[in-house]
A and B are shown apart, each in its own frame.
Chain A
Amino acid sequence: MAIFVNPNRMELLRLRKRLELSERGHRLLKDKLEGLVKEFMPLVDEYRRRRGLLEDLIPRTLGLFALAAATSSREMIALSLEECGGEAVVAAGTRKVMGVTASEFRLEAFTLEPAYSMIATPQELDLAVAELRGLLPRILELASLEDLLRRLAREIEKTRRRVNALEYVMIPEISRAKRMIEGKLDEAERGSRVRLMKVKEMLEARGM
């Protein structure tokens, strides 16, 4: 994408300002990119750790439910389901990391009414319910962290594209156009100087 400009001093001044602005923008965006990546990497490690933990715990807990279902009748589980009620109060907020806003949720309260018969249901069921309840805040934290990571990743990608566009397209194009105008102006100046010298020579030859 070449920049087409009229080779005059006004354009040259305009291009000089534009180049200065582009270089300043490039420097700032590069700093921002470094900052974003610096924030991003520890969060990725934290996400991996939490995700790994949850990926171990969820299948194990759900396995306990399956065990409970196997050791008791289907009707009993259905009855327990009907008698189970719960209410999770989740507080929603936002947090900002390097100018990126992401959702943040926190489990404020959780009331569970395990109204099913403790005697008629297997022990695995109570254990599974207790374990799953313990997982709920972790699920919320992981969801918030994943949201933040995705948003940061999007911002990093966007910033990197801008940095690259400035570095490899805008700044070289403006510099080329600036050099072209400077070359043309120099040429025009040389031309007018030669013309003046010729005129002077001609005047001297005529004895004027």
Chain B
Amino acid sequence: MALDVPTLSDQRRRGVRRTALVLGFIAAAFYVGFMAMMIWRGSR
């Protein structure tokens, strides 16, 4: 899909990428980790 948004400076683009990756990692770790931990504890 065409990305119809104004362009950002490289510095801002790096900031966006860094924050998004950190938050994405935290959310994914919570999302998968919580379920994995519960299932692991429940299966012992």
To the question of whether A and B form a pair in one complex, the answer is no
